Structure 1
Amino acid sequence: MSRAEPSRAGASRAGAAVRPGPSWTLGLFRSELLTTFRRWRTLALLGVLAAVPVLIGVAVRIETGDGSPAGGGGPAFLAQVTNNGLFLVFTALAATLPFFLPMAIGVVAGDAIAGEAGAGTLRYLLVAPAGRTRLLLTKYASVIVFCLVATLVVTVCALAVGALLFPLGDPTTISGTRIGLAEGLGRALLIALVVAASLTGVAALGLFVSTLTGSGIAAMATTVGLLITVQIVDQIPQLHAVQPYLFSHYWLSFADLMRDPVHWDDIVRNLGLQVLYAAVFGSAAWARFTTRDVTA
């Protein structure tokens, strides 16, 4: 028997002697959230996301200052922003979803495990009675919370800027019907939740990549690179056969929530696809992490 085997056996007996309960797990999750949201990198990413709706709103305000309508190009709903500031929420989400939001998620998810390994703190987390599965689930849950927070940052900033720069009233749906402002705000919240759920596949992919390397920078760069590659593939007409299976293909289906009645088909396809990606890459991350020889 090698020297490493007795030490591992001793560590296993020590870990078995302490069985962390739900309160311990909740404390681990709370600690992980605090660590994530205290990083300057995380705050910088949220700052960039908050700036996007501000820039869009100011640009539209300047362009339409002489009474001319907003240009037809650009993100969806852009032409309707001047008539109703609520549409700045949908415009900002449509502008950030293809790249800015998933890039931010990819950075946080890619750093989840690899960052700990690179900093030399991963093995100390595993010495504590966390268990690899519990630690991995905690990491993924914190990334999901970041998905929700990042999406809400864009939504709230867009709503505030839209209300400040443009009229805020009853919105007109894509179908041409008018709904009340309260219902419009409710649909905006629902759209934000759908957009956050649309990022769970990217989160699982980034977490899997994070288990493959001990370098946080390499994991983040790989995740963002894969994201860009998938976006490019999704735009090539000759690859239309594989595009419905890409996690980004149905991202903009949230616009169907602004129809009357709501068209759910593509939204359900999008959410189902995210569940599939989360299951596949989450399982791959678990298989890799639970068998990985952690030395840092």
Structure 2
Amino acid sequence: MSRAEAAPRTPRPLWSPGLLRNEIAVTFRRWRTLALLAVLACVPVLVGVAVRLDSGGGKAGDGGGGDAGPAFLSQVTHNGLFLVLTSLAVTLPFFLPMAVGVLAGDAIAGEAHGGTLRYLLVAPAGRTRLLLVKFATILTFCLVATVVVALSALAAGALLFPLGEVTLLSGTSVSFGEGLLRALAVAGAVALSLVGVAAIGLFVSTLTGSGIAAMATTVGLLITVQILDTIPQLQAVQPYLFPHYWLSFADLLRDPVYWDDVQKNLGLQALYSLVFGSAAWARFAGRDITA
């Protein structure tokens, strides 16, 4: 027996920072990704301009618990920082998850359709490591997309409206600095709210070799689940739907902070990530790769 034959094989590590950096660089150089981020950046500007043109025409909202969006909107003309919160509330139900769904749906199916998936697996990547890198890239996009919305809204809010002390939903006034920190916490909560969509999209992407079909299916599931979340007769199952607690980030703007729904949202996203991430791995690990 030769020395090469006798030497034990070194197990391939599950994580590769170099592969992750390369995947992130490739993803954020694509025109589709840049176009999605550009559209997301435009939404806060359009909201800010619309509020500016209509300022003085509406009445202040009640600031009630469930009406987070209108409560934020009523405060925008008094403090531009609330444009960040309003923009996140506007983009979270559809724009942000749709963008994540497009990217996640194309993660594996797009490689298969383009004929590059087999090459990636022939290279020293491995199926599990490739899937982990793809998922980490999608999560990176979740964070970047949320930050793009928040920064665009902050810039537009500073240009169109005054800045100063922030009146929380509970009526307490805090300094602009603390308000900025709370807005940062809200952005983090919004980014984490997209984890469930990312996992579902990645799972769907392992089921087909067509990137367009995977993207359409993911976005279709997103719309369907959100419709189900509005039907009163389905109240028993709605707390288990991934978008049910998305707007719980409004509770971070109370004094004291209400953590119950925020924790439920994060726990639900973690559960969806575990279930659909495991399903994606099971499907991808046993899939016959021909492209």
Runs (5+) with no aligned partner, structure 2: 62-66
Q: CA RMSD in A?
A: 1.8
Q: Could you say which residue in structure 1 is the equivalent of 2:126? A: 131
Q: Could you say which residue in structure 2 is the equivalent of 1:39? A: 30
Q: For residues 142 and 74 of structure 1, what CA distance do their matches in structure 2 show?
A: 30
Q: How does 1:69-218 map to 2 (within 5 A)?
A: 69=58, 75-76=69-70, 77-218=72-213
- The structure 2 residue matched to 1:55, chosen from 46, 51, 70, is 46
* CA shift digits 1:158-179 (9 cap, x unpaired): 0010011000011001110101
Q: Could you say which residue in structure 2 is the equivalent of 1:288? A: 283
Deviates more, 1:24-33 or 1:114-123: 24-33
Partner amino acid for 2:196? G
- The structure 1 residue matched to 2:220, chosen from 210, 221, 225, is 225
Structure 1 runs, 4 residues or longer, greater than 6 Å off: none
2:172 alignment partner, SS class: coil
Contact 2:68 2:89 in 1 (8 A): no
Pair 173,71 (structure 1): closer, same or farther in 2 beyond 3 Å: closer
How many Å apart are 1:21 and its aligned residue? 5.7
2:198 alignment partner, SS class: helix
With the length of structure 1 as denominator, give the TM-score of the two structures: 0.91
How many Å apart are 1:75 and its aligned residue? 3.0
Contact 1:19 1:129 in 2 (8 A): no
Partner amino acid for 1:28? L
Contact 1:201 1:277 in 2 (8 A): yes
1:276 alignment partner, SS class: helix
How many Å apart are 1:68 and its aligned residue? 3.9
Q: Could you say which residue in structure 2 is the equivalent of 1:27? A: 18
1:235 alignment partner, SS class: coil
1:266 alignment partner, SS class: helix
* CA shift digits 1:205-263 (9 cap, x unpaired): 00000000000000000000000000000000011111000000000000000000000
Q: For residues 247 and 156 of structure 1, what CA distance do their matches in structure 2 show?
A: 26
Q: For residues 68 and 267 of structure 2, what CA distance do their matches in structure 1 show?
A: 28
How many Å apart are 1:35 and its aligned residue? 1.1
Q: For residues 102 and 10 of structure 2, what CA distance do their matches in structure 1 show?
A: 33
Partner amino acid for 1:278? S
Q: For residues 223 and 13 of structure 2, what CA distance do their matches in structure 1 show?
A: 41
Runs (5+) with no aligned partner, structure 1: 1-12
With the length of structure 2 as denominator, give the TM-score of the two structures: 0.92
1:175 alignment partner, SS class: coil
Q: Could you say which residue in structure 2 is the equivalent of 1:237? A: 232
Q: Could you say which residue in structure 1 is the equivalent of 2:64? A: none
Identity of aligned residues (%): 71
Contact 1:70 1:82 in 2 (8 A): no
Partner amino acid for 1:191? V
Contact 1:63 1:70 in 2 (8 A): no
Q: For residues 30 and 19 of structure 1, what CA distance do their matches in structure 2 show?
A: 22
Contact 1:18 1:129 in 2 (8 A): no
1:75 alignment partner, SS class: helix
Q: Could you say which residue in structure 2 is the equivalent of 1:5? A: none
Q: For residues 213 and 27 of structure 2, what CA distance do their matches in structure 1 show?
A: 18
Aligned residues: 279
Partner amino acid for 1:117? A
